[in-house]
Amino acid sequence: MPFVKGQSGNPAGKRKGTKSRTTIQLQQALLRLLDEHIDELSVDLSGLSKKDRVNAVIALVRHLIPAAINPEALTEAQMQMIVEYLENKRNEQAQTEAKN
C-alpha cells in the first residue's frame, strides 16, 4: 500500500499528541527534583537578574505544562469527546452541589 500523506501507517497506533512513556517519566522526575529542592532553587533564582529569573522559570515550565491545543487542528470526533467530557463534568458538579 503506498504512503498517503496525512494518513497513519498504523491507524491503531498512538493518537497524535500522546506523550511517550519517556516524556512522562522525565516530567515526573523533574517534578520530584523541584519538590525536593524547592528551597535551594528559590535561593538560586533570587540570585539572578529579573530577566534571567523569568527565563529560567519559563524554561522549567515548558517541560511541565502541556502545550496549548489549537482547536482548529482537532477532528470532529475529538471535539465531540471534549464536549461530552465537559458535559459530564458539569453534571457531576451539579449532582455534588445538589447533595450539599
pLDDT tens, residue by residue, 5-63: 777 677 777 777 777 888 888 888 988 988 899 899 889 999 999 999 999 988 888 87
pLDDT at 47: 92
Distance CA 34, CA 76 (A): 38
Distance CA 56, CA 48 (A): 9
- For 30, list phi and psi in degrees, rounded to 5: -65, -40
- For 17, list phi and psi in degrees, rounded to 5: 90, -10
pLDDT at 48: 93
- For 35, list phi and psi in degrees, rounded to 5: -65, -40
pLDDT at 1: 58
pLDDT tens, residue by residue, 9-22: 777 777 777 778 88
